Amino acid sequence: MSASSCSLCAFVKSSIGRKIIVALTGLALVLFLAGHLTGNLLIYAGPDAFNEYAHFLHTFLHGMGVWIARIGLLVCLILHVWFTILLTKENKAARPKYAHDATVQAPKSSRMMIWSGLTILAFIVYHLLHFTIRIDSNLAKMGETSPWHMVIEGFQNPLVVIFYVIAMTLLCSHLSHGVASIFQTLGLRSKKTAGPIKFISKAYAGIVYLGFISIPLAVLLFGFGCEACK
């Protein structure tokens, strides 16, 4: 084994190395969310704009673009989940319990990262079955002709909307700690940057939250696009 591959082994086995992998894959997923949200908000621009965008995604690079993105994101997601589960198990093993436990300043969001993360993972599976693989034949038919109408139809069920809102609430919590953690783990936090990093993290989580929940809520509560779907 060459020296460089050994160094890589040591890096992947080390606590900091693993955390850096979690931070970098997290960064890729965080940036994906920005793109995904921007695309989703086109729903408000009407069926033509949204469907054209969907068509563009599926035909970009002769249809290869969407698969490159999917495979890249899947790899990031698997690494992110795998290493966080590994780290969390080590963390639990390292610390015996206090009879009288207390917390000084760690926010709730930071203490439930594994649970918010696993809920988001479950949501991703559901979300892909719902709108990408389309296990509902009715939605699948609509998806072929007009993704815009498929989304409006997909959010007519209150239970679906409730699950989306719960998952996005946990995503917001996950991001509020996660985004700031990316900077800290990559060594970019200092006395000067600590304040702005905290702000960016909270603001990003808030924007992603409001942006994503606005769509199912607009459809279900305010009847957005409903005359068109009937």
Cβ–Cβ < 8 Å for 113, 174: yes
| Site for other proteins contains 14 (CB under 8 A) | yes
- Span of 3-11, 122-130, 135-143, 147-155 interacting with other proteins by CB under 8 A: 3-11
31 vs 188, which CB is nearer to other proteins?
188
What is the distance between the alpha carbons of residues 178 and 25, in angstroms, rounded to a whole number? 11
| Site for other proteins contains 104 (CB under 8 A) | yes
- Amino acid identity at 224: F
- Span of 25-33, 66-74, 121-129, 180-188 interacting with other proteins by CB under 8 A: 180-188
54 vs 182, which CB is nearer to other proteins?
182
List the one residue from 1, 159, 190, 227 that touches other proteins (CB under 8 A): 190
Q: How far is CA 30 from CA 78, 104, 168, 186, in A?
A: 15, 28, 13, 15
Q: Name the residue among 90, 81, 159 with its Cα closest to residue 118.
A: 81
3-state SS, one letter per residue, for 147-181? HHHHHHHHCCCHHHHHHHHHHHHHHHHHHHHHHHH
- Span of 29-37, 143-151, 179-187, 221-229 interacting with other proteins by CB under 8 A: 179-187
- Span of 44-52, 55-63, 101-109, 204-212 interacting with other proteins by CB under 8 A: 101-109
| Site for other proteins contains 1 (CB under 8 A) | no
Residue 101 DSSP label: -
List the one residue from 1, 62, 103, 195 that touches other proteins (CB under 8 A): 103
| Site for other proteins contains 13 (CB under 8 A) | yes
| Site for other proteins contains 228 (CB under 8 A) | no
Phi-psi region of 95 (alpha: psi -120 to 50; beta: other; left: phi over 0): beta
| Site for other proteins contains 177 (CB under 8 A) | yes
List the one residue from 90, 115, 129, 135 that touches other proteins (CB under 8 A): 90
| Site for other proteins contains 120 (CB under 8 A) | no
Which spans in the chain are helix H? 3-13, 15-40, 47-59, 64-94, 108-111, 113-127, 137-145, 147-154, 158-185, 194-222, 226-229
Can you give the binding site for other proteins, defined by CB under 8 A? 3-4, 7-8, 10-11, 13-20, 87, 90-107, 110-111, 113, 177, 180-181, 183-191, 194
